[in-house]
Amino acid sequence: MTKTKSKRRTITLSIIGGLFALILIVVAVFGIRAAVHKQTPDEPFGSYEFDRGNIPFDIDMFPYLVLDKNADQIKIMQIADPQIKFGSFTRDVKTMDLLDRAIKKEKPDICVVTGDLTLSVFTYDAFRYFCNFMEERQQYWTFVFGNHDSQFDCSKYTICKMLSEYKYCLFDVGPSDIHGKGNFLVNIFRGDKSEENLIYSLVCLDSGMYPDAENVPLTDWVYDWIRQDQMDWYSWAIDGLKSCNANVQSSMFFHIPIKQFADMYYLNELQKGNDVSQKVRDRLPDVEIEEVKGVVRESDKKESEFVYGDDGYTVGIFYQGNAEGVTDHPDVFEYIKNSDCTKALFCGHDHVNNLKGYFDGIYLGYGLCCGYHTYPFFENPKILTDKVLYNAKLWTDENGNQMEKGVTVINISLSSDSYGALNVSDRPNSYYK
């Protein structure tokens, strides 16, 4: 072998060795970071022990927001499914640009992220990215966990600790001894923080991720559910609110919708004279629906394998708790109805559904998906497959126009003659241009 060839071989081997070493370093750093961010205490963690409702209710247990003493409404911006991946130099820039323009124009009193803030192997950095974004704009916001937020390199423990560091994030980890993390209230006062000035409350719940049952594969698109101990906590919290203001109202926010969204869809189809199978008709509740609008464009569930408890509901509303053998599945809607306090429920999860309306007197609403780094890829239909989920031709609104990413704006009246009245509007990206 000549000296020249030997030298080239040495250089090549050095380059390969250097690249291999670099890959090992990156993998090691990522592994260490993931191990640190995945840490969770051996003991259950939270702000307090619920102790099956034996703890006294105290308004100081919860984060709060104080409005001007003359405020006649609460403006909430719902941020649904941003699913931030990396931050800069990706489609996340478009997501954050949309949110930036929306916040500047709407000037909401508070933003509520209804889960799936991230879907990333860099969860920790994605959360930091968003938290800093909101902090820089001095925008109050709160957050409920989705099914993806702690799926990869970050535990709920780490995320809860992080959120507590930010002044404008109104979040609390909640009780240590019930299911989920981030079961809490954001209480809203008018004028000053005092019991007599409690004017409204936002109920935030963790709707979980995926069932633990081994007989439920992830590919069946079966999702977790709100548990009985969470609804026991909810009843305790509502009773506590009423002890401060007997007429106080509230709205509830969590990620995965409940079955009543599908009930409302089918009842609306019947009202419009559309075909609904007899199997579904036999299972629909006898309730009134009003002011129903929006569309359901998610993949039809009849193409998936699961049938647990669906009663023939094949429309693409992927509500919580369709797992075989579920025994701890309270009727969340029934609790809401009986509370005589919570008048609206808002969720996310199903990106191409924006169905809204009154179901048995309670407002049910999907938030408009804002994340440009997740399906549906509105801007580039050429990369789509033939699956219904990725069929751009089906992503149209009620007027046949292609759906856009956007946010949902919720105005709640505080006037004495119309207290609690809702005005809910989807604001697509083009609205803020």
pLDDT in tens, 275-316: 999 989 999 999 999 999 999 988 787 655 444 556 788 898
pLDDT of residue 19: 67
Rounded mean pLDDT of 167-179? 98
410 located within any domain: yes
Reply yes or no on whether the pLDDT at 328 is more than 90: no
Top pLDDT among 187 and 352 is at: 187
Q: What percent of the chain has pLDDT over 70?
A: 82
204 located within any domain: yes
Residue 134 neighbours by CB distance under 10 Å: 21
Rounded mean pLDDT of 183-194? 97
Top pLDDT among 391 and 137 is at: 137
pLDDT of residue 323: 65
The domain total for the chain is: 1
116 located within any domain: yes
Query: Residue 322 sits in which domain range?
Result: 38-432
329 located within any domain: yes
Lowest mean pLDDT of 92-106, 138-152, 236-250, 380-394, name the range.
380-394
Reply yes or no on whether the pLDDT at 403 is more than 70: yes
Under the banding of pLDDT at 50, 70 and 90, the label for residue 88 is confident
Under the banding of pLDDT at 50, 70 and 90, the label for residue 394 is low
pLDDT of residue 179: 96
Reply yes or no on whether the pLDDT at 390 is more than 60: no
CATH of the domain at 272: 3.60.21.10
pLDDT of residue 51: 97
**pLDDT tens digits for 14-62?**
667 666 666 665 555 556 666 667 788 888 999 999 999 999 999 999 9
Under the banding of pLDDT at 50, 70 and 90, the label for residue 386 is very low
22 located within any domain: no
Reply yes or no on whether the pLDDT at 7 is more than 80: no
Rounded mean pLDDT of 315-341? 87
77 located within any domain: yes
212 located within any domain: yes
pLDDT of residue 387: 45
Rounded CA separation 428/354 (Å): 12
pLDDT of residue 208: 94
Q: What percent of the chain has pLDDT over 90?
A: 68
Rounded mean pLDDT of 387-414? 78
**pLDDT tens digits for 224-269?**
999 999 999 999 999 999 999 999 999 999 999 999 999 999 999 9
Rounded mean pLDDT of 66-91? 92
Rounded CA separation 192/347 (Å): 30
Mean pLDDT, the chain, integer: 88
21 located within any domain: no
Reply yes or no on whether the pLDDT at 411 is more than 50: yes
**pLDDT tens digits for 115-149?**
999 998 899 999 999 999 999 999 999 999 999 99
